[in-house]
Amino acid sequence: MTNVGDSMNKLKHRASMVKIILNMLILQLLLIACHKQQVNLREMSPEEQLEYAMKFFEKKDYQKAKMQLTIVVLNNPGSGIIEKAQFFLGESYFNSKEYILAIEEYEKLLRSLPQSPYVDDARFKVGMCYYKLSPGYALDQEYTIKAITQFQYFLEEFSNSDLKPQVEEKLLECRNKLAKKKFKSGELYRKMGYYRSALIPFDGVLSNYTDTDYADDALYWKGECLRKLGEMEESKKAFLDLLNNYDKSEFVNRAIEKIQELDKVTANVPAL
């Protein structure tokens, strides 16, 4: 039994040694392959290095694209290919959903190469990174505000860009989110019966977000809160403003009914 046990132990030891040797051989082959790649990259022109890196990007192998584009950027300072390499390094991070890192790469381009033809694209994508990071309306809206800042800056600086329609669309989406957050705050106060408190966020929507989907909602419910508070003239004014400024609103018919009710009430109030 002892001899059998010894034999088994020897076999296990040999198998372990073979596994170690095989792993060492695989590691050596990988090191040789990497060395050859490095040698080849050093022998390439900047343009060839960029072309090599872009092949990974086009194949959507963004991990390798990030590595190779970083090498291109670091190895070729001052080269004419840096603009494209730097932008697509940002794109590789963006497509990997690493938005904070993507912002850093886009901003390197914006800071160091302000005359690059990729500048408007980079500015747009910085805004898109913040847009992607923006959470639901009920949560903190720091990233939404940053996205709005970037999109507004884009429209000021690149008013003739082909990207303008996309920027305007995303800007409005962000503004709608902020308007919704404020409107929902007013709605909560209204449902709790705190009508005076509800007026503050409703007025906030009407002061800052008249171009959003929540402006007519805020105006209608402002009128309702004022009516509940007994401020009939101010209530009627809110409903009339809705009819004059948002004639396509779903609240139009309801506003007309409220105006008629208010007229009846005020008609029955005896003059002092």
- Nearest Cα neighbor of 219 from 231, 232, 233, 236 is 236
Q: What is the pLDDT of residue 9?
A: 53
Please check whether residue 95 is in contact with residue 62, taking contact to mean a CB–CB distance below 8 angstroms. yes
Q: What is the pLDDT of residue 44?
A: 83
State the maximum Cα–Cα separation within the chain, in Å, rounded to a whole number: 120
Q: Which long-range contacts (CB under 8 A, 24 or more apart) does 130-133 make?
A: 130/99, 130/103, 131/170, 131/173, 131/174, 132/97, 132/99, 133/99, 133/100
Q: What is the pLDDT of residue 14?
A: 60
How buried is residue 133: exposed, middle or buried, by Cβ count under 10 Å (0-12/13-18/19+)? middle
Give the Cα separation of 72 and 91 in Å (integer).
15
pLDDT tens, residue order, the chain (272 aa):
445 445 555 555 565 555 555 545 544 544 454 444 554 667 788 899 999 999 999 999 999 999 999 999 998 888 889 999 999 999 999 999 999 999 999 999 999 999 999 999 999 999 999 999 999 999 999 999 999 999 999 999 999 999 999 999 999 999 999 999 999 999 999 999 999 999 999 999 999 999 999 999 999 999 999 999 999 999 999 999 999 999 999 999 999 999 999 998 877 655 44
Predicted TM-score of the model (pTM): 0.80
